[in-house]
Structure 1
Amino acid sequence: MDITLPELEQVINYWRTERPSTGEERALSPEVNDLAKLYALMIFHKQKTTPLEALDPVCRQLVEGWRKQAA
């Protein structure tokens, strides 16, 4: 199964709500930071989708957590 860029945006927004930025510098949470790196790489490589199997385990778990709550 693949994840699309619009879905990844929704995943990022979900985790931004669950794990908001912290501190005066408004640093991203580790979860959001990992997803943002994935998003940036997809944009850089002009990928509209990417297979879930290709994601690192942390990002895959975050996507699956979002899908469970969205179902």
Structure 2
Amino acid sequence: MVFVSIQDLEAAINYWRGQSPAVGEELHLCPEAAALAKPYALMIVQGAQRVPMDVLDEAAKLAIQGYLKISK
């Protein structure tokens, strides 16, 4: 089973925010950062340091995989 660390999720959110900053008065996150925000928040609340990749929804999987591909 493949896991994603909370550090990787945070770095991916920051990367995607840098690529496509929040816009509008509401400061909407780009789709990639928004997809990663929910699992990141859940990990913080639960005190988890990593999450299995297979529990992420499709949008979050694509966002983290895209980040990991270019960051390694």
Structure 2 length-normalised TM? 0.87
One-letter code aligned to 2:11: Q
The whole-number CA distance in structure 2 between the counterparts of 1:27 and 1:57 is 20
Structure 2: distance between partners of 1:59 and 1:36: 9
Q: Is there any run of 5+ residues in structure 2 with no aligned partner, and where?
A: none
Structure 1 stretches of 4+ with a deviation exceeding 3 A read none
> How much has 1:24 moved relative to structure 2?
2.6
**How far apart, CA to CA, are the structure 2 residues paired with 1:62 and 1:31?**
5
Unaligned runs of 5+ in 1: none
Query: After superposition, what is the alpha-carbon deviation per residue over 1:4-49, rounded to whole angstroms, capped at 9, x for unaligned?
Result: 1111110101110122101133222222122111111111122110
Residue identity opposite 2:67 in structure 1: W
Q: Which residue of 1 aligns with 2:62?
A: 61
* TM-score, with length taken from structure 1: 0.88
Aligned residues: 71
